[in-house]
Every structure is written in structure tokens, then in C-alpha cells.
């Protein structure tokens, strides 16, 4: 089963996000009270797999959910291999559409400077919120429609 293992937010951009018990994803906006939420963006909610985070742990980094500024940490689904346009459902309410896979790191993050690489450029996922709702650790992720 694919699932959410952490919901993370931050008040400022450019900082590590802190895990919380649950969060509310607002339609066409993002995670309520998160610095990256924006109705004018195609990158309203970011996702990173714990399997990707574990790769960085294997290189000796002390990282975990929220370390890559992701809103949702997933487990059991390789979302970066899904095409842009794919819709996924989370729990019984939320529907997200994948809008971007990876991102260019213009200034290179602290993780890159520590070890010379980072997973966000290849394995970070960005989505927009098609249908909002409550999201929490343990919610199941399913592919609703492939792009």
C-alpha cells in the first residue's frame, strides 16, 4: 500500500519544514498556512518519497520528512516515474495533479554543498490541488488517472 507518512509545513520559504499530525489542502492553493502555498503557482504542494530520503541517509546525512521542504512525505509509490498530468487521490477527499517532476536548483541547497548532490532536482514532485481536504499520516495514495 502506498501512503502518506508525514505532512510538513513551514512559515518561511527556504527553511526545513516541520512534521505535523495533519493538514488541510485547499483547492487550487496548497497546504493551509504553508509558505509555499499559492493559487498562482503550479507548484502548490510538493512531495518526496521516504525511499528517496533514505538514499541521502545512506550517504551519511541526518535527514527526514520535511528536510527537502516537501509538504507530503510518501511511502511505497515512485511518483517521480509517473507522467505530468497524472492525478492521485489521498485518503477519501484529496485529489492532486502532478504538474512538475524535479526542479532546477539555481543556488544549490545546503544538502548539495554538504555532499555534492541532492535528490530534489530529479525526485521531487510538484502538484496542484484539484480537490482539497484533510490529509494525515497513514492516508492511502492511489493513482486516479495517469497523465
For the record, the C-alpha cell of 16 comes out as 526545513
pLDDT of 112 > 60? The answer is: no
Q: Each residue of 52-96: pLDDT tens digit?
A: 999 888 888 888 999 888 999 999 999 899 999 999 999 999 999
Predicted confidence (pLDDT) per residue in 3-57, tens digit: 999 999 999 887 789 999 899 999 999 999 999 999 999 999 999 999 999 988 8
Q: Measuring CA to CA, which residue among 59, 66, 72, 65 is closest to residue 112?
A: 59
3-state per-residue secondary structure call for the chain: CCEEEEEEECCCCCCCCEEECEEEEECCCEECCCCCCCCCCCCCEEEEEHHHHHHHHCCCCCCCCCCCCCCEEEECCCHHHCCCCCEEEECCCEEEEEEEECCCCCCCCHHHHHHCCCCHHHHCEEEEEEECEEEECCCEEEEEECC
Calculate the alpha carbon distances from 127 to 58, 87, 97, 141 in Å: 27, 9, 5, 14
The per-residue pLDDT for 96 is 98
The class that CATH gives domain 3-145 is: mainly beta
Q: Please state the rounded mean pLDDT for residues 122-126.
A: 89
**What pLDDT score was predicted for residue 23?**
97
pLDDT confidence of residue 76: 97
Amino acid at each position: 500500500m502506498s501512503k502518506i507518512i508525514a505532512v510538513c509545513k513551514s512559515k518561511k520559504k527556504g527553511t526545513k519544514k516541520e512534521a505535523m499530525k495533519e493538514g488541510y489542502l485547499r483547492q487550487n492553493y496548497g497546504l493551509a498556512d504553508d509558505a509555499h502555498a499559492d493559487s498562482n503557482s503550479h507548484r502548490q504542494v510538493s512531495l518526496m518519497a521516504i525511499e528517496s530520503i533514505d538514499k541521502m541517509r545512506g550517504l551519511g546525512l541526518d535527514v527526514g520528512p520535511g528536510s527537502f521542504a516537501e509538504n507530503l512525505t510518501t511511502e511505497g509509490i515512485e511518483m517521480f516515474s509517473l507522467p505530468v498530468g497524472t492525478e492521485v487521490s489521498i485518503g477519501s477527499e484529496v485529489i492532486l495533479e502532478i504538474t512538475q517532476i524535479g526542479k532546477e536548483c539555481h543556488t544549490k541547497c545546503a544538502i548539495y554543498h554538504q555532499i555534492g548532490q541532492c535528490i530534489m532536482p530529479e525526485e521531487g514532485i510538484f502538484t496542484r490541488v484539484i480537490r482539497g481536504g484533510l490529509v494525515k499520516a497513514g492516508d492511502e495514495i492511489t493513482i486516479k488517472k495517469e497523465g
